Amino acid sequence: MAKILLEMKNITKTFPGVKALDNVNLQVEEGEIHALVGENGAGKSTLMNVLSGIYPYGTYEGNIVYNGEICQFSKIKDSEEKGIVIIHQELALVPYMTIGENMFLGNERGHKFALNWNETYGRADELLRTVGLKESSRTLIKDIGVGKQQLVEIAKALAKNAKLLILDEPTASLNESDSKALLDLLLKFKEQGMTSIIISHKLNEISYVADKITVIRDGSTIETLDKKKDDISEDRIIKGMVGRDLTDRFPKRPEQKIGDVMMEIEDWNVYHPLYTERKVVDNVSINVRKGEVVGISGLMGAGRTELAMSVFGRSYGTNISGTVKIKGKEVQLHSVKAAIENGLAYVTEDRKGNGLILSNPIKINTTLANLKEVSKHTVIDKDKEYEVAVEYKEKLRTKCPTVEQNVGNLSGGNQQKVLLAKWMFSDPDILILDEPTRGIDVGAKYEIYCIINQLVAEGKSVIMISSELPEVLGMCDRIYIMNEGRMVGELSGKEATQELIMSHIIKSGRKEA
């Protein structure tokens, strides 16, 4: 029988107004990959923050038994000394430091006033080879992509002699090939005896990599499924997460007539803001009609976000050229204010960095994009602001005790709902949704899909950027395919398949070569 490496017994954690964890139990065997799944707000990240010492001993009830020893971690350094290392969804890397410097930040080689740089970079290069990253440890973090940064975080964990590796949504920002490479790396570590806990909403990845799956719902442990004995199909996992069978991932949209063209983007070109000789959007032309959901599919780095941000008030890029027409009339969207005034909204993929003010309450974030509607003579009407926030909280079923709560205290899925509420309140005609369900569980995804369907039923137009091909196929009336800054294909929703989309991407790449 395998050795039990970790036991979390009867863990209860309470925040003001909400019990985040209620008597949760978790048992992890040595050398296994153990998945933790549940809806947003279920308590997965909270449980891992308890384990890693981010929430110190004394702020929760229950016991942590690691390697046969009761542990009372007062800070994250305590858990790391035992070999427990957590990698958060938001990567903790410093862009203008080298890979090697990042890997040993807080864990420096040498003495306090005499760092050993030869040892630092030598050991860093060894660890980079271990994780399969072919980069010099002297490369700046800002000069490598998100997929490579995720591998740097894993190498950084190995530098701390990790024995139990915790990964919170490790593939949320990765394309399919990078995700597969990371999961295969975890399987390789498993063969070498390492234990991993992975939190993910990508259930196909969970089924691929996990030996056991513990389901948490509403702060309580529901069940643990064993790959050797139980059905761990996606449908079975979903049933445990949401408490019912979810027969259709994508809500049916009633047949309706798609109207006239609402927005046209013609011959659009954008250059990188720093490397101004590099073209990131190359002569792109697309359109969206009234009551239509148009998807933009492509691999990471295809230029989809750059296109969206450059159109939305020139929020990204330099030397931008091309034409935007709304309702047949050419418009000049030289600022975010101008974009909003012309009925355009952009729901960013980076909700924490660019979309929300995490230190402010839900009510303030909800009304930010349309303050004039809650103001009298430039003075904000606090009662009106509160009413609007409550209305959207109920409409989008945002889980929170009160709209006075800071957005930073919400789960990722509920933060996403606040971000959607912010832009819905601006009453746009056209919404650009950039990865609207990234890092969100299947139940919350379904709710957001219903909101999208309601928006187009009201005559709004939606442009949806998504890296999840099933989502694009399940939600879109028409799909544009983008690769290396160019539009390389257009398909109707009915004819599109994953294979056809990938075929357009691969063939366009070959032409470039």
Query: Is 157 in contact with 142 (CB distance < 8 Å)?
Result: no
pLDDT digits (tens, 9 = 90+) for 133-178: 888 999 998 888 777 888 888 888 888 888 999 998 888 767 677 7
Residue 511: per-residue pLDDT: 42
Alpha-carbon span 284 to 307, nearest angstrom: 8
Residue 246: per-residue pLDDT: 57
Residue 239: per-residue pLDDT: 79
% the chain with pLDDT above 90: 53
**Do both 221 and 168 map to the same domain?**
yes
The mean predicted confidence, pLDDT, of the chain is 88
Q: List the one residue out of 186, 135, 116, 199 whose CA is nearest residue 157.
A: 186
- pTM flag (> 0.85): no
Q: Is residue 381 part of a domain?
A: yes
Taking 50 as the threshold, does the pLDDT of residue 360 lie above it?
A: yes
Alpha helix (H) residue ranges in 174-288: 176-191, 203-209, 234-242
**Do both 78 and 178 map to the same domain?**
yes
Taking 80 as the threshold, does the pLDDT of residue 425 lie above it?
A: yes
Q: List the one residue out of 120, 96, 92, 98 whose CA is nearest residue 108.
A: 120
pLDDT digits (tens, 9 = 90+) for 450-485: 999 999 999 999 999 998 888 899 999 999 999 889
The residue out of 378, 403, 427 marking a domain boundary is: 427
Which of 35-44, 178-187, 295-304, 439-448 is predicted with the least confidence, judged by mean pLDDT? 439-448
pLDDT digits (tens, 9 = 90+) for 179-207: 888 899 899 989 989 999 999 878 888 88
- CATH number for 65: 3.40.50.300
Q: Is residue 252 part of a domain?
A: no
**Do both 387 and 407 map to the same domain?**
yes
Contacts of 499 (CB under 8 A, 6+ apart): none
Q: Is residue 310 part of a domain?
A: yes
Q: Is residue 19 part of a domain?
A: yes
Q: Is residue 89 part of a domain?
A: no
pLDDT digits (tens, 9 = 90+) for 498-507: 888 878 887 7
The residue out of 134, 160, 186 marking a domain boundary is: 160
Domain that holds residue 285: 261-343+428-513
Q: Is residue 256 part of a domain?
A: no
pLDDT digits (tens, 9 = 90+) for 363-413: 999 999 999 999 988 899 999 999 999 999 998 888 888 999 999 888 777
Alpha-carbon span 128 to 151, nearest angstrom: 8
Bridge-based pairing state of the strands 379-380 and 344-347: unpaired
What does each C-alpha distance from 157 to 81, 92, 133, 302, 363 come to in angstroms? 12, 12, 14, 30, 38
pLDDT digits (tens, 9 = 90+) for 88-146: 877 788 888 999 999 888 888 877 678 888 888 999 999 898 888 888 999 998 888 77
Query: Is 267 in contact with 321 (CB distance < 8 Å)?
Result: yes
Query: Is 80 in contact with 51 (CB distance < 8 Å)?
Result: no
**Do both 300 and 330 map to the same domain?**
yes
**Do both 434 and 497 map to the same domain?**
yes
The residue out of 404, 427, 450 marking a domain boundary is: 427
**Do both 433 and 318 map to the same domain?**
yes
pLDDT digits (tens, 9 = 90+) for 343-352: 999 999 888 7
Give the total number of structural domains in the chain. 4
Contacts of 223 (CB under 8 A, 6+ apart): 214, 215, 240
**Do both 372 and 312 map to the same domain?**
no
Name the pLDDT band for 362 (thresholds 50, 70, 90): very high
Residue 510: per-residue pLDDT: 43
**Do both 79 and 170 map to the same domain?**
yes
**Do both 433 and 507 map to the same domain?**
yes
The residue ranking higher by pLDDT, 21 or 42, is 21
Q: Is residue 44 part of a domain?
A: yes
Q: Is residue 255 part of a domain?
A: no
Query: What average pLDDT does this structure show over 304-323?
Result: 94
Query: What average pLDDT does this structure show over 301-325?
Result: 93
**Do both 78 and 167 map to the same domain?**
yes
**Do both 266 and 334 map to the same domain?**
yes
**Do both 132 and 280 map to the same domain?**
no
